Chain A
Amino acid sequence: MERFYFAIEIIDITPRNDALTAFSRTPVLFILLAIAAGLASPAWAQSAVADGQKLAFDRGKGNCLTCHVIRGGDLPGTIGPELRDLKAKYPDRNELAAIIFDETKRNPQTMMPPFGRNRILTEQEISAIVDFLQTL
């Protein structure tokens, strides 16, 4: 299945500059979401983790397995590092959210797609994935 990595639909090129529009409200939203996650009941958090895992594994969404080994996922790629012990490495969840939002900020040559900047994932979706990543 040559369709292994990304969904087949063809989407128009997203203008590079959408970072400008997306960025202004990002920090506030992330903080709000972080607070919400912090205050949430364990049951709520549980479902965010499950949602995050689904989003991370979904070929039409995060499709993180294309490049990363992730516990619980099949047929991972080897382009990125295995995703594990991330809570120790990035104690601040905003760091993880920023990597998913646009890793080219840290590393302009990275292969990792700018999921937030290019609107592949919404901020809520990124936040759920961060919840999931913190359990790895």
Chain B
Amino acid sequence: MKARASILLGSLSAALVAFALTSPRVVAADKVDPVADARAFQNFFFQKFPTVKHEDFVNGPYSMNEDMKRQWQEKEEFPPYEFALDAGKEMFATPFKNGKTYADCFPNGGIGIRQNYPYFDDKEGKVVTLELALNRCREANGEAPYSYVKDEMASLTAYMAFTSRGKPMDIKIPDDPRALAAFENGKRYFYTRRGQMNFSCASCHVQSPGERIRAEILAPALGILNAMPIYRSEWSGMGTTSRRFVTCNSQTRAVPLEPQADEYRDVEYFLSYVANGLPISGPGARP
């Protein structure tokens, strides 16, 4: 009974936050306020999980469960993403056929910059994620793009995350109506229920983090991208942010979008911005 009451209470307050975040502002109807949204979002999780250290939220399900955390810390001594990290490092250093490298495409040679992705590109008028920027780099240098979901893309992003570990997420939303619209659109996608099961992303990652869905412990939405890409035993390998979005949609019988579809880019922008200040922890390992 007690457990039930707290579940209900939890979802009630989640509902309030969800409502506060999604309902059109009654007073200033067209005012998008990412700063206020991020504060409310972070406070919701800090209050719901007062014993979780703020920087721990970036460890997904491990932040929610002590037993799992212990197992994970033991695993980190021989991390299962190591092979991807090594491969990524080597790929990063290997020149393209034209002699250029990935380093030529990124600020600071691509080292220690993960926390700045995704960013809003004012020429294109859209959000650019790290995965997208990597494939654009390849194409600009005459190379074929990689699959967005695993293997090479996961290795490259694993390496770039690793060189940025510990740096606080630092996403900018320029004072540009298109950037604000992208943020708002990502937020809307995140809170909209869809598919036969009628779940939103928030149903699982805002309303129920820490709960078990079957045998899996749900990660909190706060800092949920800081550990990407991740190794998952179920995947017997690495998966990118794109892979996780597609998987979460299709497993709940919602129609997944194409990797790097505009809406996924916007969701990534929203989730990353509201995690500003929390450290990059990728690449991650999951059971």
Contact = CB atoms under 8 A, between A and B. Distances in A.
B212 A10 contact: no
Main secondary structure of the interface of A (DSSP, over half): loop
Interface in A2-19: 2-14
B235 A4 contact: no
Contacts, number: 90
A47 B203 CA distance: 35
Given A6-B252, A11-B253, A120-B196, A78 B212 contact: yes
A66 B196 contact: no
A81 B250 CA distance: 26
A14 B196 contact: yes
Interface in B195-215: 195-199, 203-204, 207-208, 211-215
A109 B11 contact: yes
A36 B186 CA distance: 49
Interface of B: 3-4, 7, 11-12, 14-15, 18, 194-199, 203-204, 207-208, 211-216, 232, 234-235, 247, 250-256
Contacts of A7: 253
A79 interface: yes
Contacts of A9: 253
A4 B12 CA distance: 26
Which 9 A-B residue pairs are closest in the complex by CB-CB distance? A4-B214, A2-B234, A109-B15, A81-B4, A113-B197, A78-B212, A77-B212, A77-B213, A79-B211
Contacts of A66: 213-214
A9 B255 CA distance: 10
A7 B214 CA distance: 13
Contacts of B255: 10, 12-13
A13 B195 contact: yes
Contacts of B207: 109, 111
Nearest to A119: B196
A65 interface: yes
